[in-house]
Structure 1
């Protein structure tokens, strides 16, 4: 029966982005089921692939080859995920095989050989017992979902209604602005538990391993014991990652959390998708076709009709557009709750300090830190640059110091070290300024380690800790200490920080990037959210002018207002998400050839070409309306396929709606 197998082969050539038909031998009839891995003969070579479906006959008129073998009878690709990968590939002008490579981790035969129920108990047994009135644990999943969710979500307008809709089996969609100091993993766990109590699955995606550990702990506490969920992370190692993936693919667990690749994970009877801090650039996949986890999850919500929750302390323009378009509800707290939870925010210059504009640590910041330490609370200092002194310049004329070998920037790794190149690593002990000949150097940019050294002298007696790329602290005790960190590495303090100092704001606000304002706001809010409330003495000092829109949003703790303003400006200028943009990067001839081969939608604009800074590389941006976005992606995909079939020289990287445009 159904002797023809339709297979997507793992070949990334764009002109071969379609399924191919093969015959199934009688010996493989039982094992060759939809979703299994297979090996097939393709263009004279043995390649891997996934069996999509079995059919009675093929539309191909020629002779069909047989499957070489079924690699495993394990069905690792569900029909839902296969369709999702196709949608994502079309959205980002990529190939089905490339997205499948992101969705299904490499096979680990020893893990696969284990019995399906040996590693993790089935969560459905617990839910079924609870609903039948004979819970196997002291408290049923339904009881947990309803007994402890009120105190947290009740602080938000329509928060309780959102959870009720989840428990009733409906599919609400919301953009959530978390309160300062909010235990967001607990709130996400509340929402997942509400869905879990109905027998449906849930999928939550966070940016990094630290957030994943926090969410994992919250779910373990909420759902009651191991075996109720799995956390997927590339750092787990091949065996453990594949073991957890199989638990989801087999339906053993229905709750999956993870980083960006988990957005494509198989979840049985999906009822809710969640993404936290969708503005973090870690949610963007660096491999072709460069999908964003937020868009993947929103596509899943449309595909399955499930609920969706986009949360964060701040709000992206993309999330704001979901609210303004009516696709999602606005889930925020009222102003009274915000005032009760928010710290006092002080911009520089508001205390008539004459040195506020020039000093790296203005008087108001120094006083706030000293008061917090005297009160027995830790102080958090956020510095945008890591390292000691990542950039130096001539002490006399200010000319940036450059390496003689490669013209890269010179930096200092310590107070007693010699300058070295950040690009090639060559030491420059004999450096002399090319403009004036002076050998003295001064810091033009100060990093986190140098800042920690300076603060250690300013606050003698208080321990100074650092958290950054080399060593990220998860937590710090609630005792007097100065914690210096880079953005994204802020540890959680027991009881909150007495003061949060946001230094070197110019490094974030002056970036030549479309999302500079959004990114600065996201990093500031993330740090400020760790401060104690104002009525407990919590204070945030931001070294920036109080009239800036980003600072005003922080002072009022109103990220939604800033997101609406940002979206309106982008709509007026024709930038994403108000428009769709594709970036074409490669050799000049290849980029020009691709543009000429593309049947662009009506009204499409070409911006460029511009030099990317890499030798022989240039970039052209293609901009069109949102309604024509799908047509633009399809046209680019067709043109790339034509160039691939003709073996036209020159590779062009196609990115649809890239995060970085400038």
Structure 2
């Protein structure tokens, strides 16, 4: 690797270490350290008694002093002609299992370089901690039987419903796929689509990596896969697994036998030789990695596809602006159904709600009453709980906690208000604005909505599904299912009606992407309806409501891109966030100015918090991404490598986050 220095940074344990003959074996090691200045390959001499050693193995290597060793991975084994160069020796080979194949290292290196981060941070997400007992008892399983001919035929029938999808899969193409919003055999269409694509790859002897946002989507996808492929061919990858189970699954992906990897965002780094990488619902924020270097699963998949030449599918009921930008530039092919299915969406305007003064308009109420006599009805609300927020009954000012200033809420009707931050009860609360001691409910959560609907629909069971009451499935009996966005259970046969409440409240969130997020939430809920079932979007009008009613997510994403382009807002341009001490941020901005990123491209810096840190945003074109990332990475390394620091200064006083989803300033 070109970054390997001629004189290694590793300090020698002995002046004569490794000197023998005309040459010696050396190992180039990637140190597993969060320190940015250690993010490069280090040369180490291999002891003569170490025979079984190779790239990808875990090792322990000395750093700075002979008494301190650190974990690392061997990237290369080489023979150095100059046996006189002073080198430290590898302390020990931890395991002979090659847990870091070359393709995984290349992916981690490229993803980290694009995000101005460290490869070891990426590998920490991809490679689980070693489990000695699992490793010693591990035996690579025999290759699983390929899908049966009947399963292949069913898979081909599902993929054939999409125009041009078979050509994308067979030709290792890239596509943004608009999933058909239907249920088939009580499974969502998107899950059957991903399972079918993976089954076709498995029939050709190739592995697939299927990435979903959370465990609910994962369970649905696993159910769909169970109808097409052998259970032994499916490898789970998620945080709910125990450490031994996760390591066992990881070892399975190191083998040559093809498999289907299903997991959350970090599953995109699975070390299989993939023939297909697919991402479901790429607009979900759960696919954005919260740990440095903050690489989104979609970006990692794009890098991986370019490296490995696999097929790439980005699937959703709606189209994220990030995916639409790639479609507009010809990087992704636009794939839709041969025969599009458009749900029956009905709109009620905010004016209609103001005239009646009701939360549920009469048309939606009548629809719910008729549908509840036949089967389950879905009611989507914005928040969980009974009344998440309270306001003063006199002046309508938000009710705040006298101790910490947090919002007050009610856990049930008539309950004493409780702070949502510190949990204190507000027994003697008074409004700071008008001194009134009376509060009123400002919003309705799942429990209050269920309470109200239970009185309006006597004799009909009411089911709550939210973060505190998770539910995966409901049967076909009549019921009102009140769920928060993303927590809607799957109904047997589909919901007989869907009522989308609190739309106006959802749209009020101060987020750049809130409209496309709302469209995604509503579309995903609408896809759970039975064929022809009515869907009511309550209290929302404008372009986002029309996009749902006409089921035109790609057109709406294009309009969002057009609106953001003059403002240079993501994803029409890339945005980097710099945060740290003022001197460190200023030094990084000066370095960017030397490559032409200055002036209107920089917003800030402005103070953040009370610790003296500042934050700046830097906007730059995608074409300048490599130079900006390398410049910022050099600034982070230079800042971290300073030897003399004022007392109390943090170890790393500059942090960089590229491609932030929501710019803050």
CA shift for structure 1 position 590: 4.3
1:642 counterpart residue number? 638
Structure 2 Cα separation of the partners of residues 600 and 285 of structure 1: 30
**In the alignment, is residue 289 of structure 1 matched against residue 293 of structure 2?**
yes
> Residue by residue, what CA displacement relative to the aligned partner does 1:457-516 show, whole Å, maximum 9, x if unpaired?
111111111111112111111121011111110111111111111111122212211111
1:430 pairs with 428, 431, 436, which one? 428
User: Is the 8 Å Cα contact of residues 570 and 661 (structure 2) preserved in structure 1?
Assistant: no
- Root-mean-square deviation (CA, aligned residues, Å) is 2.1
Does the residue aligned with 1:75 lie in a helix, a strand or coil? coil
1:48 pairs with 71, 82, 90, which one? 71
2:623 counterpart residue number? 627
Structure 1 Cα separation of the partners of residues 75 and 593 of structure 2: 31
2:655 counterpart residue number? 653
Structure 1 Cα separation of the partners of residues 83 and 406 of structure 2: 57
Structure 1 gap ranges (5+): 128-139
CA shift for structure 1 position 609: 2.8
User: Is the 8 Å Cα contact of residues 206 and 258 (structure 2) preserved in structure 1?
Assistant: no
User: Is the 8 Å Cα contact of residues 600 and 632 (structure 1) preserved in structure 2?
Assistant: no
Question: Does the C-alpha gap of structure 1 residues 608 and 444 become closer, same or farther in structure 2, counting only changes over 3 Å?
Answer: farther
Structure 2 Cα separation of the partners of residues 106 and 58 of structure 1: 36
Structure 2 Cα separation of the partners of residues 519 and 395 of structure 1: 32
Structure 2 Cα separation of the partners of residues 250 and 415 of structure 1: 58
Question: Does the C-alpha gap of structure 1 residues 645 and 60 become closer, same or farther in structure 2, counting only changes over 3 Å?
Answer: farther
Structure 2 Cα separation of the partners of residues 457 and 566 of structure 1: 41
Question: Does the C-alpha gap of structure 1 residues 427 and 461 become closer, same or farther in structure 2, counting only changes over 3 Å?
Answer: same
> Residue by residue, what CA displacement relative to the aligned partner does 1:329-358 show, whole Å, maximum 9, x if unpaired?
111125xx33xx4332111149x9565674
User: Is the 8 Å Cα contact of residues 112 and 119 (structure 2) preserved in structure 1?
Assistant: yes
**In the alignment, is residue 238 of structure 1 matched against residue 243 of structure 2?**
yes
Q: Please, which moves more after superposition, 472-481 or 596-605? A: 596-605
Structure 2 gap ranges (5+): 1-22, 183-187
1:99 counterpart residue number? 122
Does the residue aligned with 1:450 lie in a helix, a strand or coil? helix
1:465 counterpart residue number? 463
Map 1:266-345 → 2, pairs under 5 A:
266-268=271-273, 270-334=274-338, 337-338=339-340, 341-345=341-345
Structure 1 Cα separation of the partners of residues 156 and 498 of structure 2: 30
Question: Does the C-alpha gap of structure 1 residues 99 and 349 become closer, same or farther in structure 2, counting only changes over 3 Å?
Answer: closer
Structure 2 Cα separation of the partners of residues 380 and 419 of structure 1: 29
User: Is the 8 Å Cα contact of residues 353 and 359 (structure 2) preserved in structure 1?
Assistant: no
1:365 counterpart residue number? 364
Structure 2 Cα separation of the partners of residues 316 and 464 of structure 1: 34
CA shift for structure 1 position 161: 3.9
Aligned residues: 627
User: Is the 8 Å Cα contact of residues 201 and 276 (structure 2) preserved in structure 1?
Assistant: yes
2:35 pairs with 8, 13, 19, which one? 13
2:561 pairs with 564, 567, 588, which one? 567
CA shift for structure 1 position 564: 1.2
> Residue by residue, what CA displacement relative to the aligned partner does 1:238-290 show, whole Å, maximum 9, x if unpaired?
0101100110013344321110111111103x211100000000101111111
User: Is the 8 Å Cα contact of residues 24 and 81 (structure 2) preserved in structure 1?
Assistant: no
Question: Does the C-alpha gap of structure 1 residues 356 and 284 become closer, same or farther in structure 2, counting only changes over 3 Å?
Answer: farther
Question: Does the C-alpha gap of structure 1 residues 177 and 2 become closer, same or farther in structure 2, counting only changes over 3 Å?
Answer: farther
Question: Does the C-alpha gap of structure 1 residues 357 and 203 become closer, same or farther in structure 2, counting only changes over 3 Å?
Answer: farther
Structure 2 Cα separation of the partners of residues 588 and 484 of structure 1: 49
> What is the TM-score with the length of structure 1 in the denominator?
0.91
Map 1:545-556 → 2, pairs under 5 A:
545-546=540-541, 548-556=542-550
Structure 2 Cα separation of the partners of residues 554 and 545 of structure 1: 11
Structure 2 Cα separation of the partners of residues 630 and 544 of structure 1: 45
User: Is the 8 Å Cα contact of residues 145 and 194 (structure 1) preserved in structure 2?
Assistant: no
Structure 2 Cα separation of the partners of residues 599 and 355 of structure 1: 53
1:475 counterpart residue number? 473
1:450 counterpart residue number? 448
User: Is the 8 Å Cα contact of residues 180 and 530 (structure 1) preserved in structure 2?
Assistant: yes
User: Is the 8 Å Cα contact of residues 598 and 639 (structure 1) preserved in structure 2?
Assistant: no
2:489 counterpart residue number? 491
> Residue by residue, what CA displacement relative to the aligned partner does 1:373-416 show, whole Å, maximum 9, x if unpaired?
12x12111111112221111110011111111111111112223
1:259 counterpart residue number? 264
